[in-house]
Structure 1
Amino acid sequence: MSDDVVRQLVSIAALRVEGVHALAREPRSGIHLAHRARTGAVGAGSVCIDIAGQQVVVGVALVAVDGVALPVVAENVRREVATAVSRMTQLRVIQVDVLIADIDLEVLEEQS
């Protein structure tokens, strides 16, 4: 299974979750970079993965919609990503780290 395929599955699954505006272009926080360093995960930008045998650890950085409950969005992303990756690849998802890297404020700016 290609790392790129798994990263694409993660991206699609995360974007399906209500309250996710987009994937972060480049995370602004060192937390996502620390995830990569800690796990040895590979990937540029918003999704990184570490596959070891039949197990995978995932990190995803995203932009949330303004006004949503961020912990709920993060938990829903964790669940959706783990389900999609497990179902489509048969890899065992050990962990899904979610970083809310930004909040989309365009709706507020349009109302001003």
Structure 2
Amino acid sequence: MPKDIDCFEFQGSVSFALLLLARTILILGEAPYLAQVCDLEKEWEAFPGAQGSAFPLTFTAAERQTIQEDVESVVSFPEQGFVLENEYNEVVGALAQATSEVLSEVDAIRSKTIE
């Protein structure tokens, strides 16, 4: 088989998807990467070099649900930080709520460390 065909087949593989996501983990966060890892478990036996070995990671149902919710949040995040005019008020409200939640968590952590 020509090497060109091998390259195109590799681009459609889970290995390639993981490498591509690893390049953007600082931009998108870990959720898309973890989702891909969860999907990898289904294809583990077909993964090069993995035959006969157990999948090295385990995720509870709650962890998988959290990962899925995080992925959906990443997908709905505005591209390049730009917000459409008709979504502006909703985004400002969501940012205010997120800021409030983060500050509450910081206050809780501070109060625990002071005690």
Q: TM-score range by the shorter chain?
A: under 0.3
Structure label with greater radius of gyration: 2
TM-score normalised by structure 1 residue count: 0.27
| Higher-RCO chain (CA-CA 8 Å, sequence separation at least 6) | 1
> Which structure has the highest strand share of the two?
1
**Larger helix fraction of residues:** 2
The normalised TM-score by structure 2 is 0.27
